Structure 1
Amino acid sequence: MKAIIPLAGAGTKLRPHTYTQPKALIPLAGKTVLSIIVDQLRDAGINEFIFIVGYLGEKIQDYVKANYPTITAHFVYQNDRQGIGHAVRLASNIVANDEILIVLGDTICDYDVSAVINSNTSMIGVRKVDDPRSFGVAEIDCDANITHLVEKPHIPKSNMALVGIYKIKETEMLFQCLDVNIKQGIKTHGEYSITDALDCMIKNGAHVNAFKVDSWFDCGKRESLLESNATLLKKFGAKAELRPEYENTVLIQPVSIGKGCTIKNSIVGPNATIGDDTTIDFSIVKNSIIGSFSNLFDIVLDDSLIGSDTTIRGETRSLNIGDNTDIDLG
């Protein structure tokens, strides 16, 4: 079993952060989006990964090599971003005829990974949503068989959204369907969709079951990323210790604080993730994600996403600031 993780998207909804940092490497609950995904799959026994990279792809490579030296890692560049279907097609030579698990690079879910990868059929993760028009949608019969898939339908016939997890047994059929769609220029919303290829498999006789994920954490936008951070801090049991070097400081759990941080005269938490080597003085930080090597002085931050190597001074704000920024609000 090989895992394919498409990571080539530009992450436009998280700008300005994704101008300098891949979305998958944004800190989340003391980890990164990518590390949560890789750890989950590795714990289930998968040790060979194909990372589809493009925008800022060298940062992904450096991160994987530094943090996961024991896995077998392949890096495939998608220089011309034409959709998830196109991205997966680029991995066909590495996959050969092995079974694959495709997990989108911003998809964090609670589910039984081992049960999915050991299933006798292809499997697609789904979750009920209020408005499925922004998602791939699965039509499912009473036996959990998927009968039809459609990408972002204007009039959905189901409210079961695809969460971005696909276990494929019939890999040869998947790549044949992708080849046909790409050669014939069959696009949905301007892209070669993995949803269209999977629906092609079903029409050609593939047996595909749906499985429901317990939780689905949205990492695509600032507001939902902060909500996911709060939930995952509780899930991982994150609890930073109050150390002597945190002079005159109160920590309100859950909090994750990186290595080498200097914190004094401050209140941190709840639901705060602080990156490595960050300095916080005379400040209050809650419900926020702060990047590494940042400096906060005399500031109150709530519901904020702050990039790495950033300096902020003065007043109360809800901020969304990218890397390498120096702001004086005094």
Structure 2
Amino acid sequence: MKAVVLAAGQGTRLRPLTEDRPKALVEIDGKPLLTYCLDELVSLDAEEFVIVVGYRKEQIIEHYGNSYDGVPITYVHQEEPAGLAHALLQAEPEVDDDFMLMLGDNVFRGNLETVVQRQREQRVDCAFLVEEVPEEEASRYGVCVTNKYGEIVNVVEKPDDPPSNLVMTGFYTFSPAIFKTCSLVQPSDRGEYELSDAIDLLMESGRTIDAVRLDGWRIDVGYPEDRDAAERRLSEETPTPTTDGGTPGSSSTSDD
């Protein structure tokens, strides 16, 4: 699949880290935030990146060039910050089949491949990762409304009074049907064209939607403290060297 990455945001909540750079290039443990997204998508066999850029786009284009880790990059421009559905629509001319979508401000460690498998094997029109977050944090995300059987029947973008603490995480797969519903979305109370509203329209039209529980962790880097939290989690993954240059529990030889 192609992989669309939304990286047009200004990152106003991340200031002062974004005063002189786009949000996608804020460094987490020595690497730009967008690099973590691209690494995950490379591991999922992305055949091409379609990166939606906006704020200080020239810095992103200069940093990554025409390809990343052997995967070609196409850039498309969102001229104004009008919401995720609007950003995704900018990628429509470059996508003609099922595709992955990642919001470019997340650091993931988990079962993203399960979402891709659902799209490939079950031919759904939308699959996405969900996770439970503390109730006080749910209003930051697209919140899932479920029925008594636990089925998702609605999603609400950043509600003041969240109906649940089950939220979308920022990784999706879609069929091209999502572009039609994105084009039908009306501005929300926030004045933006919301991706959650486009997914709702898919549900209402009888399209097949599948939600996968996140098995792992994910940090949405929206505030400076989120960046710090992501660095702490990533540092926990870094092996501690031993005095002989190896890692605890490892042998002195390697097949690498």
Q: TM-score, normalised by structure 1?
A: 0.66
> In the aligned structure 1, how far is the partner of 2:117 from the partner of 2:31?
27
Structure-2 change in CA distance of 1:18 and 1:207 (3 Å): same
State the SS of the aligned residue for 1:108. Answer: strand
> In the aligned structure 1, how far is the partner of 2:79 from the partner of 2:16?
21
Structure-2 change in CA distance of 1:34 and 1:199 (3 Å): same
Where does residue 160 of structure 2 map in the other structure? 154
Where does residue 41 of structure 1 map in the other structure? 41
* CA drift at 1:52: 0.4
Correspondence 1:194 to 2:195: yes
Correspondence 1:73 to 2:73: yes
> In the aligned structure 1, how far is the partner of 2:130 from the partner of 2:21?
29
Gaps of 5+ in 1: 242-330
Contact 2:66 2:73 in 1 (8 A): no
Where does residue 25 of structure 1 map in the other structure? 25
State the SS of the aligned residue for 1:18. Answer: coil
Where does residue 290 of structure 1 map in the other structure? none
> In the aligned structure 1, how far is the partner of 2:67 from the partner of 2:73?
12
Q: Partner amino acid for 1:148?
A: N
Structure-2 change in CA distance of 1:139 and 1:63 (3 Å): same
State the SS of the aligned residue for 1:150. Answer: strand
Q: TM-score, normalised by structure 2?
A: 0.84
Contact 1:116 1:123 in 2 (8 A): yes
Where does residue 168 of structure 1 map in the other structure? 174
> In the aligned structure 1, how far is the partner of 2:29 from the partner of 2:240?
7
Contact 1:140 1:210 in 2 (8 A): no
Pick the aligned partner of 1:126 from 127, 130, 142.
Answer: 130
Q: Partner amino acid for 2:99?
A: I
What do residues 145-180 of structure 1 show as CA deviations (whole Å, max 9, x unaligned)? 4211111223332210111111113x22x1111111
* CA drift at 1:70: 1.9
* CA drift at 1:66: 7.5
* CA drift at 1:80: 1.2
Q: Partner amino acid for 1:200?
A: L
Structure-2 change in CA distance of 1:62 and 1:143 (3 Å): farther
Q: Partner amino acid for 2:110?
A: Y
Structure-2 change in CA distance of 1:147 and 1:68 (3 Å): same
State the SS of the aligned residue for 1:63. Answer: helix
* CA drift at 1:203: 0.6
> In the aligned structure 2, how far is the partner of 1:223 from the partner of 1:133?
17
Correspondence 1:209 to 2:215: no
Contact 2:129 2:211 in 1 (8 A): yes
> In the aligned structure 2, how far is the partner of 1:240 from the partner of 1:5?
38
State the SS of the aligned residue for 2:203. Answer: helix
Where does residue 221 of structure 1 map in the other structure? 223
* CA drift at 1:239: 6.1
Q: Partner amino acid for 1:18?
A: T
Q: Partner amino acid for 2:153?
A: T
State the SS of the aligned residue for 1:118. Answer: helix
Aligned counterparts, 1:27-106, within 5 A = 27-65=27-65, 68=68, 70-96=70-96, 98-106=97-105
Give the number of equivalent residue pairs: 237
Where does residue 145 of structure 2 map in the other structure? 139
Aligned counterparts, 1:271-310, within 5 A = none
Larger relative strand fraction = 1
* CA drift at 1:7: 0.8
Where does residue 232 of structure 2 map in the other structure? 230
Correspondence 1:7 to 2:7: yes
RMSD after superposition:
2.4
Structure 1 window deviating more from structure 2 (72-81 vs 212-221): it is 212-221
Structure-2 change in CA distance of 1:150 and 1:180 (3 Å): same
Gaps of 5+ in 2: 244-256
Contact 1:29 1:238 in 2 (8 A): no
What do residues 185-222 of structure 1 show as CA deviations (whole Å, max 9, x unaligned)? 43341100000000110010112121122212131111
Q: Partner amino acid for 1:16?
A: P
Larger relative helix fraction = 2
State the SS of the aligned residue for 1:101. Answer: strand
State the SS of the aligned residue for 1:55. Answer: coil
What do residues 232-284 of structure 1 show as CA deviations (whole Å, max 9, x unaligned)? 1112437699xxxxxxxxxxxxxxxxxxxxxxxxxxxxxxxxxxxxxxxxxxx
Q: Partner amino acid for 2:116?
A: I
Query: Structure with the greater relative contact order (CA < 8 A, sep ≥ 6): 1 or 2?
Result: 2
Q: Partner amino acid for 1:209?
A: D
Aligned counterparts, 1:259-278, within 5 A = none
